[in-house]
């Protein structure tokens, strides 16, 4: 841990912009004003508390969700400085009302935690109808209050005495800005758990006073606990391998463990911020890992022949790894739209050599583990080669499973050649499939009926997929490969749409298909190409004609406003609608409502898929509700 020796320089605060700009264009500062943006407010404040802890002060963060919709975040650091700023205002007033006031961390070593790097406090204030900052410092309790997006309600004043130190921020998100102001205990506690894994000295507590929920996280073993947590329900081949090293001013800490599953899970962090899109540190890790296993295998005559070697994907099958690096600010480079990808070139070679050297040493010292992992990697190599051969045969039409024949039986193709505009409907049941085929937009809509339940892919290998008729049809229809060969750019369709009955079986088929896509075509989900169709639950016939109702709530509301007689029909399945109805309600771009399947957090999705692919239906439904964005698809059609 590095101690920040820079003391707070009250004159270094940069006054740049007014809070009004934030309110006018909140998206520019917090990304969006949906649920994600709402929670961003919390992350900004929590990040400031984490910064203080990383700098060496304090070890405790508490988050309280109050019944009145306000939220409190508290730390036990030094407390925000309470002196006067050169402008004549108090320092807290400047920090919480002036954008970019957090400039103090510049060039003070590691740039820590995420988000807007201390800019956040004023942004949160700008987007809150009320904010109150209480500071324990210099033997006093001081407090300042704001309202209506950062207007001072009561300037900083002493409200009591205390020997404690720390900062407490309480705020109410502005209802004019956020349509939905309900914080999610689950979202907050999952994110805080991840922070707690990365900050082993810290305890983070979350209390939901409304729903009487609470969670408290503290992990002495840091990222080793993280790996154990992810692999909790899996069969691991050995205890987690853990190493730390410092090279070229870059701190590297890695924990990894193999399980008997086929899935790879790699999570990386830079200065405690998740790098969801990877980057040079991940590349370095993968290269070092592949090299260490290949060298060991060759040196011990496990791989024979000059050309024999294991692919990266072979040595990562069943691997869970956490890569946490700390990079000094002057070397930090982020890339990509969301800045979730590390660009720092030095991180690549540094992480590669650290991984290689530490693993090489470990494998030499732990022969049994080395052999167990290599055995698995070799099996993966064989399965991969066999699956590829089978696919090639199918592509060339040489094998007994001719691709065209397999598809022509079931797939109703789209005639259009603009693949990005084309849509593939995966439809539950032959009867609904038949309706969809007869009434569709033939230019852009293709239909593939699915019979019964598809294979649960939680534990399937690519060989199992090739052996499964239903999934093989999906693979060939999409035409972009599978697993490590999958390339979403090759997809025959811009949208893959799952269309099932609105019942438990339908939900089950949805989750089975999502699991398949998550395991074998994950980029499809990452690129936002996977959707779920939402057929209506009811139709109402009145004197004015027929209308469709999506939910029970909507039905109740509508019933109250209808005058005269009406007839309600409940659709138990897609098959109960005629072809025209099915098209109009569920497939027609003008009327349909599609849910996009999103991947908010790979670690959580992984864990949840694993747990939820068990026998219970209720948690599975909840998973779908939580992981699917309930947004009108046509809002983000590109």
Q: Identify the residue among 80, 315, 342, 424 touching ligand 0R9 (CB under 6 A).
A: 80
Q: How far is the CB of 474 from ligand 0R9 (least distance, A)?
A: 48
Which strand (E) or helix (H) includes residue 478? helix 469-478
Residue nearest to ligand 0R9 (CB): 118
Q: How far is the CB of 199 from ligand 0R9 (least distance, A)?
A: 14
Given the residues 503, 552, 578, 626, select the one marked as catalytic.
Answer: 503
Is position 8 an interface residue for ligand 0R9 (rule: CB under 6 A)?
yes
* Residue 13 contacts residue 103 (beta carbons within 8 Å): yes
Distance CA 116, CA 191 (A): 17
Q: Identify the residue among 63, 74, 188, 224 touching ligand 0R9 (CB under 6 A).
A: 74
Is position 188 an interface residue for ligand 0R9 (rule: CB under 6 A)?
no
Q: Is 595 left (phi over 0), alpha (psi -120 to 50) or beta?
A: beta
- Of 189 and 491, the one with the shorter C-beta distance to ligand 0R9 is 189
User: Which region among 48-56, 187-195, 248-256, 609-617 touches ligand 0R9 (by CB under 6 A)?
Assistant: 48-56
- Of 100 and 621, the one with the shorter C-beta distance to ligand 0R9 is 100
| CB-count burial class (<10 Å; 0-12, 13-18, 19+) for 307 | exposed
Which strand (E) or helix (H) includes residue 393? helix 367-396
Q: Identify the residue among 22, 30, 38, 49 touching ligand 0R9 (CB under 6 A).
A: 49
329 annotated active-site = no
Q: Identify the residue among 30, 33, 35, 48 touching ligand 0R9 (CB under 6 A).
A: 48
Pairing of strands 628-629, 213-217: unpaired
Is position 93 an interface residue for ligand 0R9 (rule: CB under 6 A)?
no
Q: How far is the CB of 547 from ligand 0R9 (least distance, A)?
A: 50
Is position 390 an interface residue for ligand 0R9 (rule: CB under 6 A)?
no
**498 token code pair:** 């799952």
- Beta-bridge mates of residue 406: none
501 annotated active-site = yes
Q: Identify the residue among 118, 284, 506, 536 touching ligand 0R9 (CB under 6 A).
A: 118
Q: How far is the CB of 105 from ligand 0R9 (least distance, A)?
A: 7
Q: Give the largest CA-CA distance in the chain.
A: 85
**288 token code pair:** 């070092």
Is position 90 an interface residue for ligand 0R9 (rule: CB under 6 A)?
no
Q: Which of 173, 183, 15, 9 is nearest to 87 (CA)?
A: 15
Is position 156 an interface residue for ligand 0R9 (rule: CB under 6 A)?
no
- Of 72 and 534, the one with the shorter C-beta distance to ligand 0R9 is 72
Given the residues 51, 208, 470, 501, select the one marked as catalytic.
Answer: 501
Q: Which residue has the tokens 């999502």?
A: 514
The percent helix, strand, coil of the chain (3-state, each to 5) is 40, 25, 35
Q: Which residue has the tokens 């929670």?
A: 39
Q: How many residues bind ligand 0R9 (CB under 6 A)?
A: 22
3-class secondary-structure state, position 206:
strand
Is position 150 an interface residue for ligand 0R9 (rule: CB under 6 A)?
no
**116 token code pair:** 């807007």
**CA 352 → CA 292, 322, 349, 513, distances in Å?**
10, 14, 5, 36
Q: Which of 403, 411, 412, 426 is nearest to 513 (CA)?
A: 426
Q: Identify the residue among 37, 81, 278, 318 touching ligand 0R9 (CB under 6 A).
A: 81
Is position 113 an interface residue for ligand 0R9 (rule: CB under 6 A)?
no
- Of 29 and 520, the one with the shorter C-beta distance to ligand 0R9 is 29
Distance CA 345, CA 337 (A): 19
Is position 101 an interface residue for ligand 0R9 (rule: CB under 6 A)?
yes
Is position 75 an interface residue for ligand 0R9 (rule: CB under 6 A)?
yes
- Of 80 and 255, the one with the shorter C-beta distance to ligand 0R9 is 80
Distance CA 374, CA 325 (A): 27
* Residue 19 contacts residue 124 (beta carbons within 8 Å): no
Q: Identify the residue among 45, 199, 273, 322 touching ligand 0R9 (CB under 6 A).
A: 45
Q: How far is the CB of 77 from ligand 0R9 (least distance, A)?
A: 4
Is position 205 an interface residue for ligand 0R9 (rule: CB under 6 A)?
no
221 annotated active-site = no
Phi, psi of 192, rounded to the nearest 5 degrees: -70, -35
335 annotated active-site = no
Cα–Cα–Cα angle for 401, 403, 409, nearest 5°? Answer: 95
Distance CA 574, CA 432 (A): 6
User: Which region among 78-86, 205-213, 313-321, 410-418 touches ligand 0R9 (by CB under 6 A)?
Assistant: 78-86
Alpha-carbon torsion (264, 273, 528, 574), positive or negative: positive
End-to-end alpha carbon distance in the chain: 45
Q: Identify the residue among 121, 123, 315, 432 touching ligand 0R9 (CB under 6 A).
A: 121
Compute the chain's Rg from CA coordinates: 28
- Of 52 and 466, the one with the shorter C-beta distance to ligand 0R9 is 52
- Of 14 and 463, the one with the shorter C-beta distance to ligand 0R9 is 14
**CA 35 → CA 18, 41, 188, 259, distances in Å?**
25, 10, 12, 35
- Of 121 and 315, the one with the shorter C-beta distance to ligand 0R9 is 121
Q: Which residues are catalytic?
A: 428, 501, 503, 505
- Give the binding site for ligand 0R9 (CB under 6 A): 7-8, 45, 48-49, 52, 73-75, 77-81, 95, 101-102, 104, 118, 121, 167, 169
């Amino acid at each position: 841990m590095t101690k920040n020796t820079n003391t707070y320089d009250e004159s270094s605060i940069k006054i740049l912009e007014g809070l009004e700009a934030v309110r006018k264009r909140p998206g520019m500062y917090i990304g969006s004003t949906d649920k994600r943006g709402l929670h961003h407010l919390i992350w900004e404040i929590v990040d400031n508390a984490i910064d203080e802890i990383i700098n060496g002060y304090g070890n405790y963060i508490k988050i309280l969700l109050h019944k009145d919709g306000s939220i409190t975040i508290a730390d036990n650091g030094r407390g925000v400085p309470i002196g006067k700023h050169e402008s004549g205002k108090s320092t807290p007033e400047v920090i919480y009302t002036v954008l970019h006031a957090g400039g103090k961390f510049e060039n003070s070593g590691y740039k820590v935690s995420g988000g807007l790097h201390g800019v956040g406090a004023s942004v949160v204030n700008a987007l809150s109808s009320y904010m109150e900052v209480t500071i324990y410092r210099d033997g006093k309790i001081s407090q300042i209050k704001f309202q209506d997006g950062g207007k001072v309600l009561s300037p900083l004043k002493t409200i009591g005495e205390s020997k404690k130190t720390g900062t407490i921020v309480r705020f109410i998100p502005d209802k004019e800005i956020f349509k939905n102001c309900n914080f999610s205990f689950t979202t907050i506690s999952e994110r805080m758990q991840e922070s707690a894994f990365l900050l082993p000295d810290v305890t983070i507590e979350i209390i939901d006073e409304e729903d009487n929920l609470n969670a408290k996280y503290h992990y002495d073993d840091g990222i080793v606990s993280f790996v154990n947590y992810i692999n909790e329900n899996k069969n691991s081949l050995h205890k987690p391998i853990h190493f730390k090293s410092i090279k070229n001013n870059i701190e590297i800490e890695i924990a990894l463990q193999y399980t008997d599953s086929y899935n790879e899970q790699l999570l990386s962090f830079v200065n405690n911020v998740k790098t969801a899109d990877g980057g040079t540190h991940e590349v370095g890790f993968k290269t070092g890992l592949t090299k260490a296993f290949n060298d060991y295998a060759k040196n011990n005559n496990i791989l024979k022949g000059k050309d024999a070697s294991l692919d990266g994907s072979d040595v990562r099958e069943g691997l869970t790894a956490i890569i946490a690096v700390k990079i000094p600010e002057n070397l930090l480079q982020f890339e990509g739209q969301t800045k979730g990808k590390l660009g720092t070139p030095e991180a690549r070679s540094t992480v590669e050599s650290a991984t290689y050297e530490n693993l090489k040493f470990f494998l030499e010292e732990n022969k049994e583990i080395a052999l167990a992992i290599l055995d698995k990697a070799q099996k993966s190599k064989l399965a991969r080669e066999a699956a590829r051969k089978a696919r090639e045969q199918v592509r060339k039409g040489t094998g007994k499973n001719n691709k065209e024949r397999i598809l022509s039986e079931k797939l109703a193709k789209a005639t259009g050649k603009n693949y990005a505009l084309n849509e593939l409907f995966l439809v539950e049941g032959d009867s609904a499939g038949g309706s969809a085929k007869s009434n569709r937009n033939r230019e852009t809509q293709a239909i593939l009926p699915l019979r019964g339940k598809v294979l649960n892919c939680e534990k399937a290998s690519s060989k199992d997929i090739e052996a499964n008729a239903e999934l093989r049809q999906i693979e060939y229809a999409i035409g972009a490969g599978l697993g490590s060969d999958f390339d979403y750019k090759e997809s025959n369709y811009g949208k893959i749409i799952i269309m099932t009955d609105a019942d438990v079986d339908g939900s089950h088929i949805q989750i089975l298909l999502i699991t398949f896509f998550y395991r074998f075509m994950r980029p499809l989900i990452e690129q936002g190409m996977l959707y779920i169709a939402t057929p209506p639950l009811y139709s109402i016939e009145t004197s004015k004609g027929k209308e469709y109702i999506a939910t029970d709530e909507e039905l109740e509301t509508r019933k109250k406003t209808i005058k005269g007689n009406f007839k309600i029909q409940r659709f138990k399945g897609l098959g109960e609608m005629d072809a025209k109805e099915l098209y109009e309600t569920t497939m027609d771009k003008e009327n349909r409502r599609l849910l996009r399947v999103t991947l908010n957090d790979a670690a959580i999705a992984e864990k949840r898929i694993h747990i939820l692919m068990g026998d219970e239906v209720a948690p599975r439904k909840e998973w779908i509700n939580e992981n699917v964005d309930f947004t009108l698809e046509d809002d983000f059609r590109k």
